[in-house]
Structure 1
């Protein structure tokens, strides 16, 4: 399944009142339903209290949602580092990409006594006030995947602009190989705020500068595969020659739409790695996907958090965790 091209380029420590934010310190666990959320909240609060009372280092990992495989894999990397370093990492994830729930996760992490918060910001602005308050309270901040507009000890993410441009170059080459030198191309993004996805789109668009291709106005599917499929189906009806999905849900939706259309002349390129996406590539409905290294983000994020908690200055360093292009197995 892999042609690798190196490019340089869901736990919420909730109160009983909060629903929709699941919690776990295991990669595959996410509470579903009101009763499970309530139970998870109670368990988490007790675990956090026990950890801090015993002097154990407590780190909160807050991602955008609990659904995408990307975040599950990131948490797996974080838990691996936690086991090696003897610290507790609590995985915090809203059920959907919701600013209010993510802010609540930050506030609850601070209340629970987390010494550091590792966060993938849903948007750079919405969560900033809560993070600033956390920082003022002495909590160390580490960004993974997507930063907010508050200074952090360190950031571990993909060079999203470069990776987006690579995605564009892959599509452009496939179109050229098919003898297509002009036409319209659709773009499905999560929203207009998430920094990582915005940068991917900018990079993708830059790959087509100076060509005869028309890149249509971006449509937003909130990272939801079903919504993204509907958007992609509309693009296909308009006669696009290609569709770019900026994240896992967008890519899955685009591939499913191409599959449902029965057309073999629409090039689909996407971002992130999941079983569904890899299956769509193997079956020929997607050309390729830009696979990040979320496990590296989580692993290095925890290591950095522990260093910061122990007083080491990290200088706000930004580390590119890399990306690979995954295509159909030859």
Structure 2
């Protein structure tokens, strides 16, 4: 006899979530040698760690504070090289104070960009875009580039990096007419379309009549299938995300046109940003220069208060953000 399967909770439900205000005074905590205490200014998170599956990074632990990318200011330090007032990037997000070992914190320059930028354009999303385009997809001048989820933290940067480096045409997809306008008028995309206005398989070839050489996939599903059909011989695809499937309760079918990968000699490759840490110095140098020159522009969506972190997270999954979704604890 088959046992009954537990019901899958609805995607939208109330969130009885509140910040804990009972933490001790930060400056009264006793630190071990080599540790610092940082007041978290901004935090971000990733959806994949909510899945209880074996992956490149362990899932979140139940009944434990959630971690994730964060940037903050050192308020107490017993760690060599870290002084009170320094700003640090670390992985203990979703809390107002983080007790850090020195090896788990990286100093960042608050004069180069706002602190929140180190969670976006100068952080993991930026390096993902940089490595995914230049190293994984082997972008070269003159390539035609299609980016799905192009108004997100990674996608908007991919398109701009490609334009800066001489792409012949950059096309993006987004989930609203406002985001389409953002892509073409602010980020400099040559064309963009709202995937909710019609089949991607029809809108993409209309926007890229000469085909696509590089596809940067943040969505999966119908976008990946349409991209395979539009890609030119020898095209390269960086598979970065599959937001169309993150909340699926059943395994989604794959693209129906995979046979085209053979005939076109396409290369489809996944990316984990941790594999490309060696690019960090060049990445920061290039991107900081593009920010200073005004060639590169970025957006972020900021939500105030740790008590609103869960709502912000769900908003990101619904596409309510433009650029990186950031939770600020500075208020």
**TM-score under structure 2 normalisation?**
0.37
Greater C-alpha Rg: 2
Higher relative contact order (CA 8 A, sep 6+): 1
Higher helix content, 1 or 2: 1
